[in-house]
Amino acid sequence: MVSHKLVNRLMPAMKITLWCSFSIACIIYGLREHAHLFVRVQQIIDNPSQWERQQLRVGGIVVEQSIRQTSAGIRFSVRDHLNKDPRAVTVHYAGIPPALFKEGKAMVANGQFKKGQFIASEILAKHDENYQIPEMTQHARNPN
Amino acid sequence: MLAILISELGRTALITCGAILCSAFVLCEQRANRSESETAIIVNSYCASSLLSVIAIMMLTIGFIQNDFGLHTVWANSHTRLPIQFRLFNIIGSPQGSWLLWTSFTLINLTYVLKFLQRKNIRIDMRSTTLTAIGFCLFSIIMASPFQRIIPIAPDNGIDLNPLLQDPGFLIHPPCLYLGSSALIVPFMLASNHMNNKRQHILTKLTKQWALWSWGWLTLGITLGSWWAYRELGWGGWWFWDPVENAALMPWLSCTALIHACSIREDNRFWMLVTSATAFIVNILGLFITRSGLLVSVHGFAIDPNKGIVLAFMLGVSSIYAITTIRQSRTQDLVSSRWRQPQNTLLAMTLIIAVGTLYPMANAWWSEMPLVIGAGYFEQVLMPFSILLLWSITKQINQLGIRSYILVSVIAGSATMITHWFYAQIINTTQAGILVTLFILYYVATMHIIGLIKCRPQRSMLCAHMLIIMIAIAILCNRYYERVSLLTTVPGTTAKSQDWSIHVGMPIQKLKSNHSREVYPIRMTYRQHLVSELYPEIRTYKPRGTKKSVTAIGGSVLADHYVNIHKGETGELTVRIYYKPLQRLFWMFGCLLGILGILQAVRPEKQHVHSKKHNGDRTRLDGMLAVFTNECSNH
């Protein structure tokens, strides 16, 4: 029968399509959930409403004497790392910050911006004197 | 003068190596149907070029040992005070030297397989492989020359090796990875010649052997590499989904797929070709990721856009070639190939990791906002696929006919209870999901152990699957029973957190050849019991003036106690204590798995009849399948 032969020929193609679409669906779902846009503190201060409830990664300098231990983790302020603008964003983090997290040093936080506060789910600090966070160097090269 | 002579000798060796390969290529090109003597010439030229590349490596090593700072590579990565063991192996630490090592390993692997094929009198098309080898060689001569001299005057001293790389773990893992990933070209070469060769069964066997060889070294390299990251970075973890780590994991996954494609059915040509081509492309992709400088990571190598373009070109050419080779395969092969097999899952996992690694890079082209992909992406998206893999492992064991379900359940249940009881003392929480997962993993592991005792066939496969399950158990316990505490203290006092208390002694100063150490003796107690005495250090490297905190690791197989210190500007110490269950078991099983793969690859060939008898179940299954396929095609 012709149709049988046709089915046999089409089966692998169908399987491949199904499997690929399943994988791609998984990838897209994962990317939507876990891809963070990298923003500067300056960008958040300029236009806070634009970033509301988006998955973000914020890079900046921890303001001197701003780290406070609270009952639910730590709270600190971050200012922009490229200009001397004193305005800062408050970051809240429920967890233990990494070893090199210090006042006056660069840090990067992943999380969401909610109601004027940045709720961090993860904090990274630079790990070596010579290490620069790639996105930061990129910003330094073309500041806009 | 002597130093210049030695380095020029190295350069000449490298250039001659390239030239010999080019002449071999001309010979390959001229006639596809070669005579025996022509084949012998090609094999001999491969022999000569691999020998020359080894000479070049030796010359560079001599340059490192003699502190020939006129060489740019030596100047950028060495120092007169660098200890001799690091100078001896510094070839791995520099981007140019490691590329040379990679080229040399590729040539040696190819020479070995060509010698074997010559002995068996099998002729294969060598053009594309030779072209790839020439590409690697030329890259080493032109783009990343290790013998570039600083003109006119050599500096007095070098910059020193990056302190993070001054660790024994670093000396071992890159050569293993290079050996593994450079060998991946061989399965691809064999599989692409598989179609039109009459002696396919030898080629299939050889492909599997080489896939295992490369897989074993990759496994060993990845395990040792994560061991290095665990000890050296001081972040308390061993896998960070860093682009370079992903670059090693992708070839590993596709190589695993290749092994499965080779072993499940002897004539599974289509999948063999697809998986080996993927492994090869992903491998070149890894080179591109680590060396183009487009992605900065912990292991970031040279930052040179020209190199990136050349590597991208190589990547493009090899992928086009691989795709055309796959297109040559007949539709018949695709139709008759079995679908529901682990290699699809493994290939999908490779794709997921590739997308996660490359997406931020590609995003830079169409968007001005930089984008970052968190570790959560990999963990979340890979999860369903790992479950599928576990399912196919379990299916495999069911075919062996193990029916003592009650016994297995009892053993697995008690193992879960014991594990949980032991670690729950520390964390005081119970999560049903974790318990169920642990139970399932223990269940499958027990099945494997019974399978290993009861039936002799496929022992190596059962063993490898069992080790993978054990690794999964170790990772699960490690993730969910892990605890971190952070204490701030000054030397000479005791600090307390909930259950832990630590006493930090006064620092002891030690001077080494290129760094000074400040050793802090720390006594850790857990609920008034002395747990361990550890000696974390802070090292200051004089040549670069950089500081490095060296972690101290104590404890036992059951759990690691991991202490990392950081000294503040006012003299206070920040001490992080990690409690990491089953960490050592993870290293142990990982290394065992790698060694198993290597041993399996170098094991002398068995008689064909013998292996048929042992694979009774599999042959029966294959027989059924063959009948089924025939029926289908008859219709």
A44 and A109 housed in the same domain: yes
ipTM: 0.80
Is residue B36 situated within a structural domain?
Answer: yes
* pLDDT for position B294: 62
Is residue A25 situated within a structural domain?
Answer: yes
A63 and A80 housed in the same domain: yes
B571 and B632 housed in the same domain: no
Is residue A118 situated within a structural domain?
Answer: yes
* pLDDT for position A87: 85
B21 and B144 housed in the same domain: yes
* pLDDT for position B258: 92
What's the one-letter identity of residue A133? I
Is residue A15 situated within a structural domain?
Answer: yes
Instruction: Kindly state the tokens that stand for B541.
Output: 């490297």
| Top-confidence residue, B623 or A67 | A67
CA dist., res. B81 & res. A82, Å (int): 38
Contact B601, B213 (CB under 8 A): yes
Parallel/antiparallel/unpaired status of strands A73-79 and A88-93 = antiparallel
B561 and B634 housed in the same domain: no
* pLDDT for position B45: 94
Whether B317 contacts chain A with CB within 8 A:
no
**pLDDT per residue over B325-366, tens digit each?**
887 776 566 655 555 578 889 999 999 999 999 888 888 778
pLDDT tier, B552 (very low <50, low <70, confident <90, very high otherwise): very high
Is residue B392 situated within a structural domain?
Answer: no
Q: Which of B249, B298, B243, B239 is nearest to B478 (CA)?
A: B239
A85 and A104 housed in the same domain: yes
CA dist., res. B282 & res. B358, Å (int): 12
Parallel/antiparallel/unpaired status of strands A35-40 and A68-70 = unpaired
B13 and B127 housed in the same domain: yes
Minimal Cα distance from A132: which residue of B?
B296
Is residue B17 situated within a structural domain?
Answer: yes
A74 and A121 housed in the same domain: yes
A67 and A97 housed in the same domain: yes
Specify burial of residue B253 (Cβ count, 10 A radius: 0-12, 13-18, 19+).
buried
For the domain that residue B22 is a member of, what is the CATH number?
1.20.120
From its phi and psi, is residue B88 left (phi > 0), alpha (psi between -120 and 50) or beta?
alpha
Signed CA dihedral, B282, B584, A98, B301: sign only: negative
Is residue A89 situated within a structural domain?
Answer: yes
Whether A31 contacts chain B with CB within 8 A:
yes
Is residue B302 scored above 50 in pLDDT?
Answer: no
Q: Which of B236-250, B260-274, B331-345 has the lowest mean pLDDT?
A: B331-345
Is residue A138 situated within a structural domain?
Answer: no
Is residue A98 scored above 80 in pLDDT?
Answer: no
Q: What's the domain count of chain A?
A: 2
Whether B430 contacts chain A with CB within 8 A:
no
Say which of A99, A110, A130 has its CB closest to residue B566: A99
User: Which of chain A's residues have a Cβ under 8 Å away from the Cβ of B547?
Assistant: 129
A3 and A44 housed in the same domain: no
A64 and A120 housed in the same domain: yes
pLDDT tier, A126 (very low <50, low <70, confident <90, very high otherwise): low
Domain's final residue, options B109, B129, B161: B161
Contact B372 A99 (CB under 8 A): no
Parallel/antiparallel/unpaired status of strands A68-70 and A73-79 = antiparallel
B566 and B615 housed in the same domain: no
* pLDDT for position B378: 94
**pLDDT per residue over A49-70, tens digit each?**
888 878 888 888 888 888 887 7
Whether A29 contacts chain B with CB within 8 A:
yes
Average pLDDT over residues A5-31: 86
Taking only residues 220 to 249 of chain B, the set having a beta carbon closer than 8 angstroms to any beta carbon of chain A reads: 233-235
Is residue B513 situated within a structural domain?
Answer: yes
* pLDDT for position B612: 39
Most confident range, picked from B106-115, B186-195, B367-376, B400-409: B106-115
A50 and A27 housed in the same domain: no
pLDDT tier, B303 (very low <50, low <70, confident <90, very high otherwise): low
B513 and B610 housed in the same domain: no
A66 and A90 housed in the same domain: yes
B612 and B509 housed in the same domain: no
**pLDDT per residue over B66-91, tens digit each?**
999 999 899 888 999 999 989 998 88
Signed CA dihedral, B108, B110, B111, B113: sign only: positive
In angstroms, what separates the C-alpha of B552 from chain A's closest C-alpha? Answer: 15
pLDDT tier, B468 (very low <50, low <70, confident <90, very high otherwise): very high
Is residue B384 situated within a structural domain?
Answer: no
B487 and B627 housed in the same domain: no
Domain's final residue, options B161, B176, B208: B161
* pLDDT for position A2: 59
Domain's final residue, options B113, B130, B161: B161
Q: What's the domain count of chain B?
A: 3
Most confident range, picked from A28-32, B402-406, B495-499: A28-32
B555 and B509 housed in the same domain: yes
Domain that holds residue B622: 605-635
Minimal Cα distance from A122: which residue of B?
B374
Whether A25 contacts chain B with CB within 8 A:
no
Is residue A138 scored above 60 in pLDDT?
Answer: no
Tell me the count of A-B CB pairs closer than 8 A.
Answer: 103
CA dist., res. B534 & res. B562, Å (int): 9
Average pLDDT over residues B49-56: 96
**pLDDT per residue over B158-204, tens digit each?**
888 888 888 888 888 999 999 999 999 999 999 888 766 677 778 88
Q: Dmax of chain A from CA atoms?
A: 81
pLDDT tier, B377 (very low <50, low <70, confident <90, very high otherwise): very high
How would DSSP label each residue in B471-497?
HHHHHHHHHHS-EEEEEEE-TTSEEE-
User: Which of chain A's residues have a Cβ under 8 Å away from the Cβ of B295?
Assistant: 134
Contact B377 A134 (CB under 8 A): no
Instruction: Kindly state the tokens that stand for A137.
Output: 């160097």
B539 and B625 housed in the same domain: no
Whether B335 contacts chain A with CB within 8 A:
yes
Contact B180, B217 (CB under 8 A): yes
* pLDDT for position B628: 41
Is residue B614 situated within a structural domain?
Answer: yes
**Chain CA centroid to CA B441, Å:** 24
CA dist., res. B390 & res. B379, Å (int): 16
Taking only residues 124 to 183 of chain B, the set having a beta carbon closer than 8 angstroms to any beta carbon of chain A reads: 164
Say which of A8, A33, A122 has its CB closest to residue B380: A33
Specify burial of residue B413 (Cβ count, 10 A radius: 0-12, 13-18, 19+).
middle
A86 and A24 housed in the same domain: no
Domain that holds residue A14: 1-35
Instruction: Kindly state the tokens that stand for B446.
Output: 């027990």
**Chain CA centroid to CA B414, Å:** 35
Contact B233 A127 (CB under 8 A): yes
* pLDDT for position A58: 86
A112 and A43 housed in the same domain: yes
Is residue A132 situated within a structural domain?
Answer: no
Is residue B88 situated within a structural domain?
Answer: yes
Whether A122 contacts chain B with CB within 8 A:
yes
A74 and A98 housed in the same domain: yes
Contact A12 B296 (CB under 8 A): no
For the domain that residue A72 is a member of, what is the CATH number?
2.40.50.140
Share of chain B above pLDDT 90, in %: 42
User: Which of chain B's residues have a Cβ under 8 Å away from the Cβ of A57?
Assistant: 372
* pLDDT for position B439: 95
| Top-confidence residue, B308 or B347 | B347
Is residue A104 situated within a structural domain?
Answer: yes
Is residue B242 scored above 50 in pLDDT?
Answer: yes
Average pLDDT over residues B53-70: 94
* pLDDT for position A139: 44
